[in-house]
Chains A and B, each alone.
Chain A
Amino acid sequence: MGLAKRIIPCLDVDKGRVVKGVQFVDIRDAGDPVEIAKKYNEQGADEITFLDITASHEDRDTTVHTVEKIASEVFIPLTVGGGIRELADIRKMLNAGADKVSINSAAVHNPAFVGEAAEKFGSQCIVVAIDAKRVSAPGETARWEIFTHDGRKPTGIDAVEWAVLMTNYGAGEILLTSMDRDGTKDGFDLGVTRAISDAVQVPVIASGGVGCLQHLVDGVKQGGADAVLAASIFHFGQYSIEEAKLHMRREGLEVRL
């Protein structure tokens, strides 16, 4: 008996539509984030992460509206990320019904922003998203750095030190994405997941690279993650959330079923 490891499906949303492709046989409008969120909710998702990848400012109103609709129909925690740059953005998303917001590049530009956000809204709703990439050569002691702009721009910041700094500023959770693994289906980068999970007090969500159900188990057992996030294995109907949880339970992990 204890705390369950969480499975978090992630919706990447552009202009109000889920992108990265989604295939649900029984959903007519496959790209509608509200329908998809409801589907995952029924399948037993523990949380939903909504990543707004819309570039333009005008389309952000669509996001607020979509978050409102999801929050009024799905009664599990909802995290919203993408474009969170100032306190007003956080307030807007929380008022729309988000439970947590995920801060990424705004934290890199101004780490104190995370402190202000945690002070204002409480650590429980401040997630810091970290995009990490391995910078050490094979054979060297493993080292990872923070990258921005979808993994294109190095910052020179050590990922483990950064995670610790962010929790010191008040981040209540870390969403860790391996830019080396994202989209590869080769599994999480277990090294960086383990290093950060051991270094911080707060829960860590592993992200990037899930291609099969065993990867979810590995993320928890070997990476030490408290929660695992995936998109495409669920979107393409390869596995349901329930199948993923049954597999995790067979492998000895506590899940909510």
Chain B
Amino acid sequence: MNAKHIAIIDYGMGNLHSVASAVQHVAPDVKIDVTADPQRIADADHVIFPGVGAIRDCMAEILRLNLDKVVADVIAQGKPLLAICVGMQALMNRSEENDGVACLGHFDGEVKYFSDSEEFKVNANAQSTQSQEVQDHLKVPHMGWNQVNQSIDHPLWANIANDSRFYFVHSYYIEMQNAEKRAGECHYGLGFTSAISDKNVFAVQFHPEKSHKDGLQLLKNFVQWDGKVS
């Protein structure tokens, strides 16, 4: 049997070395292809859709390289797809970043700015009065290790304790319309969706490739996943 083939979609936004090396670390035998070539992505057994940076630039490159169609095909074919950070945000309807950017629309929901949320503003500044434990105004970006509450059982959460901490770095968060597709929730001044599950698609706001043992476990689970949710 041939080695499993994993494509990491490369649209020129950010450094994919971390994702590739983390996957290779947990699955030394898989063949990893960092590529924008539609054919090579179509040939892969599993696909990872990462992303960092501004959504406007990300979406522009995704469309320029016709990756919108490629991602739609991967989803339609039932192939396991893992979207990370801005890759996850790109699957939503729309982002408020860069004065509003239309996204791929695979999931109903919007990507919003923490500091624009009234709930966030109230909580961000109220914390210091709660006790003499000085917890100062919440910073944006939301940067560091936060707990993810697993909303559902899922093969990608296998061997990961509920409320484990993962590494986040983002200023925009996802507000989901459809709670049924929520796979994980996080709290930072407000509650937000930090993981989405829909058939063969799993999307995370945090960076599993930077999240130590639990992040590596999630990547390992992804490599072993058949794309089905029991």
Contacts and interface: CB of A to CB of B under 8 A. Distances in A.
Interface stretch (B37-45, B61-69, B136-144): B136-144
A46 B145 contact: yes
Contact of B188 (A3, A72, A222, A252): A3
B52 A3 contact: no
A3 B145 contact: yes
The A contact surface, by secondary structure, is loop
B187 A75 contact: no
Which bracket fits the contact residues of B? 35 or more
Contact of B144 (A3, A94, A224): A3
Contact of B210 (A75, A172, A202): A75
A111 B54 CA distance: 21
Contacts of A95: 15, 17
B53 A172 contact: no
Interface in B89-120: 115
A2 B141 contact: no
Given A1-B187, A71-B17, A72-B21, A202 B142 contact: no
Contacts of A204: 139
A38 B103 CA distance: 39
B155 to A, nearest CB: 21
Interface in A9-60: 41, 44, 46
A121 interface: yes
A82 B93 CA distance: 41
Contacts of A220: 134
Contact of B141 (A41, A123, A197): A123
B18 interface: yes
A100 B18 CA distance: 12
B139 A201 contact: yes
Interface in B23-74: 25, 52-54
B187 to A, nearest CB: 6
A120 to B, nearest CB: 9
Interface in A204-257: 204, 220-222, 224, 226-227, 252-253, 256
A173 interface: yes
Contact of A198 (B136, B147, B187): B136
A232 B86 CA distance: 37
Nearest to A98: B15
Contacts of A5: 144
Contacts of B133: 221, 252-253
B187 A77 contact: no
A6 interface: yes
A224 B143 contact: no
B163 interface: yes
A75 B143 CA distance: 16
A124 B169 contact: yes
Given A4-B165, A77-B167, A172 B142 contact: no
A76 interface: yes
A256 B165 contact: yes
Contacts of B25: 72-73, 75
A76 B212 contact: yes
A183 interface: no
A191 interface: no
Given A77-B210, A226-B144, A252-B133, A97 B17 contact: yes
Contacts of B138: 3
Interface string A191-203: 0000001101111
Interface of B: 14-15, 17-18, 21-22, 25, 52-54, 115, 133-134, 136-147, 163, 165, 167, 169-171, 187-188, 209-212, 215-216
29 contacts: A1-B147, A2-B146, A2-B187, A3-B146, A4-B146, A71-B18, A72-B21, A72-B25, A73-B25, A75-B22, A75-B216, A95-B15, A97-B18, A121-B53, A122-B53, A124-B53, A124-B141, A124-B170, A172-B143, A172-B169, A198-B137, A200-B139, A201-B139, A202-B139, A220-B134, A221-B134, A222-B134, A224-B134, A227-B144
Ranked nearest first, the 3 interchain pairs of A and B with the lowest CB-CB distance are A122-B53, A224-B136, A256-B145
Given A4-B144, A75-B216, 13 more contacts: A1-B187, A3-B138, A5-B144, A6-B145, A44-B212, A76-B212, A77-B167, A96-B17, A97-B21, A124-B170, A203-B144, A226-B143, A256-B165
